[in-house]
Amino acid sequence: MNQESLRVIDKSNYYDVLCHFDQHITDALDRFDGQKSNLSGLSKSRAGFRNILICGMGGSAIAGDFIKNVWTEVLGLPIQVCRDYHIPRWVNKESLVIACSYSGNTEETIAALHEAMEAQAQILTIATGGKVQSIATQHGLSHITIQGGLQPRQAIGYALTTLHAVFSEIFKSASVREEMSHIVFQMKHLATILKTIHDNNPYIHDSKILHDKPVIIYASERMFPAALRLKGQITENAKLLAFGYAVPEMNHNEIVGWESVHEAHHAPCHVILLRDREDHPQVQKRFEILMRLLKGKAHWTEYTSDGGTLMERYYNLIYRGDWLSYYMAIARNTDPTPVDIITRLKNELAS
Q: Which residues are catalytic?
A: 236, 252, 346
Angstrom CA distances, 46 to 16, 77, 80, 169, 171, stand at 39, 11, 17, 10, 6
User: Would you tell me how many other CB atoms lie within 10 Å of the CB of residue 60?
Assistant: 29
Let me know if 292 is exposed, middle or buried by CB neighbors in 10 A (0-12, 13-18, 19+).
Answer: exposed
β-pair partners for 100: 126
Residue 263: CA atoms inside 13 Å, Cβ hemisphere, count?
Answer: 2
How many C-beta atoms lie closer than 10 Å to residue 139's C-beta? 12
338 cis-preceded (ω within 30 degrees of 0): no
- Per DSSP, 21 falls in state H
Where are the extended beta strands (E) located within 168-293?
A: 215-220, 242-247, 270-275
